[in-house]
Structure 1
């Protein structure tokens, strides 16, 4: 109950503070841009996993985490403050995505924080931000309404959604943006060792239609009481908008690290291709094909002889009755080298997911 009270109190303060600031601005700064902004979103879903997991928790995912029940995937409320010199964000969240993705955080109250960061402008186009930040890695983002397809690719589910540390962002030009990061680790808020991790990212938009992005990560992922396990990770994606109706994106990941049970090095890799076509102002169709190979079980442990070597394909249909609302239906199939999908009918090497969702942002 104490955590529920803390959530409600924090949400109340966010709303009250933002509303008060906006009222003050409207009275005395009509011509100036308001520094406070309040936003949020709700993503509710029903998912049916044909492997029928016994405890209803779906394996190898954080999105649409629960089988055969209506539930909240992700709900968040966010307050932003921004001027030409300083900025800050505080966002709280809950849902089965949080239950799955923040399970390793030992502090239950910390799990409720989606973002908590502050930044200062160091020069033209140069910002230094510190705190709990969105990940600099990957094409797909956390909130489903911002992505072409409801569920996330395997590569998105198995790389960071969030990071904790300091980030230097430099807009080198109107086409090139660079990021340099010092982090606690690979998607964690509370530190697990004395080492710090490093990250780098560069985004290049030569035209308004094309975006190219390269991001990397280096860090020790082992706790202090064990030998170091240094992780090297690379992510590259490209996105192209052919027209206001059709867009295409592809992404490739590669990682390398010492194995958990020896000093030998292993690796994993993943690839994804997706496309979306807008049939009309309210209807859209999207598809995704992908493969994830973690034979050495560095990221995904299956306890099987060939590890996680899995391909997946998705077909997604959208209906948007309003600009900030999506009703989505997705069918997603999986095919694995080993029998890794466990349920009440045994263990299979393939699986099928059907999911529908309502998502709204404000």
Structure 2
């Protein structure tokens, strides 16, 4: 409750300053556009997990985290400042997604920050940004309304949603964008060791219908005082719009890391296929199939004989009565190799989630 109250106070201050700046700019000249922009989003949900987790916290996810409860998944207010030479973003957040995904951040105030970065244009099409940034990895993004399906795939849940460091973005052409990053680490704001990590991203759009992207990450995941354990991770995405109604996308992950307590290297991989079909101007249907394999428990710990090896399928229905607003219904099932889903009565290999949500983005 203290964090939520603090967030509201900070949001109020941010909104007041942004609005004052907009007013001041408009008095200078009505023709000039203000460099300030205020935006925000709210995503509220109700989810029922048929495993019935004892503490109501659902395992292996950050999205629709609470069972049998109406709650805020993610809400944020964002202020942007953009000119032709400099830019900056501050976004503050709250919700159950924040509660679980930022649990490792030791500073409670830091957990409220979704973005805090500033950048400068070094040349035409070349920007250098630094601070707390959105992740350069993956197909699905943090806000549910930007994705085809309400919940995120296991591969999205187990790769960074945010990063902290410096990012060089080069728009090579209208079809190719490159990113080069130096980071504190794998989804962390506060540094855990003296090493820095590296990242690279490339997006290629050969046609208006086809988009291809590749991203990677390399860094030491061991805390200070421990022997370095280097992680190398790769992500590949492809999406194709067959028409204004039908879009299909595929994504694959592969990572390797030196294991703790061993000289051996372990690996994990994941893949998903997702499709969305617009039934009309206000309705859409989407589906996803996926598999995640982490037998060495590098990313997901289960303490079971075969680690985290899980397949899943989702079916999602959207109703969009007004621009920016979505009412979503999703059914999602899992099937794991080991019994990893702990419930009120037993531990089982399967799991079923039903979830509905309202989201709006302004």
Query: What range is the shorter-chain TM-score in?
Result: over 0.9
**What does residue range 262-281 of structure 1 map to in structure 2 within 5 Å?**
262-281=262-281
Displacement of 1:26: 2.2
Displacement of 1:31: 1.9
Structure 2 unaligned spans of 5+ = none
**What does residue range 219-238 of structure 1 map to in structure 2 within 5 Å?**
219-238=219-238
How many residues are paired up?
362
Structure 1 unaligned spans of 5+ = none
SS in 2 for 1:219: strand
SS in 2 for 1:23: helix
**What does residue range 1-362 of structure 1 map to in structure 2 within 5 Å?**
3-362=3-362
SS in 2 for 1:202: strand
Does the CA-based 8 Å contact 1:260-1:298 persist in structure 2? no
Displacement of 1:225: 1.4
Displacement of 1:185: 0.1
Structure 1 residues 111 and 123: alpha-carbon distance in aligned structure 2, compared to 1, 3 A threshold? same
Displacement of 1:27: 2.3
Displacement of 1:12: 1.5
Does the CA-based 8 Å contact 1:217-1:233 persist in structure 2? yes
CA distance in 2, matches of 1:151, 1:75: 15
* TM-score for the superposition, normalised by structure 2: 0.98
Does the CA-based 8 Å contact 2:331-2:355 persist in structure 1? yes
CA distance in 2, matches of 1:294, 1:116: 32
CA distance in 2, matches of 1:33, 1:76: 24
Give deviations 1:125-183, integer Å, cap 9, x for gaps: 00000000000000000000000000000000000000000000000011000000000
Does the CA-based 8 Å contact 1:164-1:187 persist in structure 2? yes
Does the CA-based 8 Å contact 1:341-1:348 persist in structure 2? yes
Displacement of 1:323: 1.1
Displacement of 1:5: 5.0
Displacement of 1:262: 1.2
Does the CA-based 8 Å contact 1:203-1:212 persist in structure 2? yes
CA distance in 1, matches of 2:139, 2:5: 35
CA distance in 2, matches of 1:104, 1:335: 28
Structure 1 residues 249 and 26: alpha-carbon distance in aligned structure 2, compared to 1, 3 A threshold? same
CA distance in 2, matches of 1:181, 1:162: 13
SS in 2 for 1:321: coil
SS in 2 for 1:303: coil
Larger CA deviation: 17-26 vs 328-337: 17-26
SS in 2 for 1:62: coil
Does the CA-based 8 Å contact 2:7-2:94 persist in structure 1? no
CA distance in 2, matches of 1:292, 1:196: 27
Displacement of 1:2: 6.0
CA distance in 1, matches of 2:16, 2:340: 48
